[in-house]
Amino acid sequence: MNSTPAHPAAHPERSAAPPAPGRAVVVHVGRSVPCRAAVRWASWEATRRGLPLRVSRHLTPAVPATAELVVAGVRDLDTVAGSPCPVVLVPEESGEPVLAEVVLGLDAHGPAAGAVGFAFDTARRWGVRLRAVHAWRFPSCAAELPFGIPEEDRAAWEDHEVQLLSDALRPWREKYPEVAVLADVRLLTPLQALVRRSARAGLLVVGRRERGRPGAVARGLVRGSLCPVAVVPS
């Protein structure tokens, strides 16, 4: 386990760009029993972004194409999964929205730029810390060691993962110097690492392929996360 805090250098505060004309936060309430938590979270986030809130019962392709953000209950994952814009899935048992840290799940070997940018921008808007979580596992050769893994080997492998995460975050820290970043490297599965962090997070952020469906980690988070989950196309 390795958690490395980073304190951003002083930098003139940037003014937020005005929202694009016609953009809105769209909340999907297609089921017979709408997720009230999703509506509450969408209204809260629309206010923070200075955008109108639109309610959609039938999410046609044209709706997310003109939305800045789509919000839905976790049961509607398959309905909103192909959205071209970020989707936030809100657990039905969620309480009031909170301004807590944004947790970004990323693979430091090949980070998804869409998810990383969304997480940094959300942390900037909210004025909270960004925790970047990179999960790793021992290389396959470790299974062949007859007497277990020497501590020096484990430390060397972990140091390598820490450096990978630092390198992946560097350009984003430079772009968002006002965002405090905590680099968090965990010897766990991605799902385990992120679910454990969800209890104190305001939002979890993961990526997906632009034309693909959410992967196993995103689906597992939707079932197990204690906070809203943002799924962002690359």
Mean pLDDT of the 92-109 span = 91
> Domain extents for the chain?
2-10+22-233
pLDDT at 158: 75
Q: With a cut of 60, say whether residue 60 has pLDDT above it.
A: yes
Give dist(CA 163, CA 135) in Å, integer: 13
Q: Is 232 a residue whose pLDDT tops 90?
A: yes
pTM above threshold 0.85: no
Q: Is the pLDDT of residue 15 over 50?
A: no
Which pLDDT score is estimated for 172? 97
Question: What are 115's two structure tokens?
Answer: 């998810």
Instruction: Tell me which architecture the domain covering 2-10+22-233 has in CATH.
Output: 3-Layer(aba) Sandwich (3.40)
pLDDT tier at 3, thresholds 50, 70, 90? low
108 to 11, 51, 68, 222: CA distances (angstroms): 26, 33, 26, 22
Angle at alpha carbon of residue 111, lines to 133 and 38, rounded to 5°: 65
pLDDT at position 87: 93
